[in-house]
Structure 1
């Protein structure tokens, strides 16, 4: 985790111990908040934070997920909408039924016309949504990206579920441990343009360059487009095309569940290791039947809550999105805004047969 972007927070007692993760430091690059402000009239362009400002009542917060029928995104958004109610705001979820790059644009335009106070977006493409989001910010509608970032100058804050580097590297580390650091592996991703997936995959590839993984080879990155049937077929295709494949990493909740479903009913069960990111309720049966030994995720409910509080704090003038500002996210505690407007929820949890029944989401 980058030292600038580590959020100060009170750690809540968890039902299960969160795994200790060793993280290498990485340099960050990209547009600075000051540069972004010149373009869009956002955070640092003369706006001053007033940490003591009261939370405004009746704020309108709109969650715009990658796609409306994605079960993971629904958990995030429902939790954010519930949190909004707690502080007197009104939350809603709108979005497309597919995860194509430009599918979210018309929804952003409608939300601008509706004069929402904040738009929270999990971007399908970092750039396709930029024009309308900048238009929203010019009209004093606050923009918070969550789960999957936009380009940095197209929002005030990005709520990152965990350090991108931590997610990418640990998925390789976990799979390598299961494989004894040997064998051909593949990645089953979501869409080719998904910002979060691509960032994680870059860190996976970088991790694989280390001498410890010289006997492991990444043979293919496949894309299931966060579609259950396509992800199922891509899994089947990978296993047919690469008969020596030993492991698959699927850093998407739709992908890992579809891959587990295929493997569980095939001759590959017990022979091909599947790891990645999933929810306990999706993956429980595959952990218990031995298809999957372990997988990781953060608590998506907490991600939604944190997003709602960040958006309301922006809309109330408590924060502007500048590095170093702090805000309280209800029972989650205090968070600090890091470099490039990034706020990190916390480290992911590893789920396995020993702890999976302690979680229900």
Structure 2
């Protein structure tokens, strides 16, 4: 069995370069019975009563290895994998926009013959050829935090409903500015799948008549870099002197924006909300720079990605819509359309509850 898999792996690695040169993203591979057009890639029938396999190796590939958010998420995965008797490893680029680096790390994990990989994609299509090669070699692929195209993985563990996250961020900020004034969005990378999906729902939410006096003037990009996000915040306020609020759906961006606002004449006047961690944002909430923001628990997101990877590798699920699996103390989860698994509702943090959280 091992000899056969090794032979298949050698062939796959040999052709990877040729495929990358001759195919567009998510192209260049033959659709097999392990892939389903228009949905998550699936392979074989699942047995929810199958025994959990031990000694599996799950590789984590975050967008950026030195990002505190992903450190928390991946450590959540590491902890549960070790408790389950599995093996954990993490690889990844130091830049949140190094897409070619992510492709290289997917190939590295494939060559190392991990049983499964959990990937937060920097780009929805760029990793597809490499991820399909991994799946063809029997590796289960779970995306978490930021998705790729559904046919390029087995399941996606989403922080919450993308629609909930997009709409609630608008709702939170609009309430703070009294449903009136100019607002801007400070995003991460221009290609980030999750950011763009949330922003799409933000724009849909803003079409509601109750926001008729709220105007979105610009979407800026800080590339999940603290200095760039700080400068983008400064630039937004210079370009739009009447700006009333900023939504930053990225933990790096919201922290950098809060840092700028807290030391400027705009503190308390320009409202800031979005997605941040309590530890990053605590001092800005307490000094009056930020009223409220939201997020999920990244450690729980990483844990659910690990449990999903183990369930896939054990044959308990295949990624098909309607399948359910048990995620330990987290409870049972049902796979939705296109192989999406939602962690749960986001939590709103403010001065009343922020000291109850430590991440």
Query: TM-score w.r.t. structure 1 length?
Result: 0.88
Between 1:158-167 and 1:34-43, the stretch displaced more is 34-43
Q: Tell me the number of residue pairs that the alignment of Structure 1 and Structure 2 aligns.
A: 328
Find the aligned partners of 1:269 and 1:35 in 2 and give their Cα distance: 57
Native 8 Å contact 1:41 1:137 kept in 2: no
Are 1:84 and 2:77 an aligned pair?
Answer: no
1:1-361 correspondence runs (5 A): 37-38=35-36, 43-45=41-43, 47-100=44-97, 101-361=99-359
Moved more, 48-57 or 120-129: 48-57
Deviation at residue 103 of structure 1 after TM alignment: 2.4
* Alpha-carbon offset, residue 111 of structure 1: 0.4
Q: Is the contact made by 1:34 and 1:44 (CA closer than 8 Å) also made in structure 2?
A: no
Cα deviation code 1:111-148 (max 9, x no counterpart) = 00000000100000010100000000000100000000
Q: For the residues of structure 2 that align with 1:40 and 1:175, how far apart are their CA atoms?
A: 35
Q: Which structure's CA Rg is the greater one?
A: 2
**Cα deviations by residue, 1:170-228 (Å, 9 ceiling, x for unpaired):** 11111111111100000000000000000000000111111111111100000000000
Distance 1:40 1:354, change over 3 A: closer
The unaligned stretches of length 5 or more in structure 1 are 1-32
SS of equivalent residue, structure 2 residue 349? strand
SS at match of 2:123: coil
| Bigger RCO of structures 1 and 2 (CA < 8 A, at least 6 apart) | 1
The alignment partner of 2:95 has SS state of: coil
Q: 1:40 to 1:179 in 2, by over 3 A?
A: closer
Question: TM-score, normalization: structure 2?
Answer: 0.89
Instruction: List per-residue Cα deviations over 1:61-81 (Å, max 9, x = no partner).
Output: 011000111110110001101
SS in 2 for 1:346: coil
* Structure 2: tracts of 5 or more residues without a match: 1-30
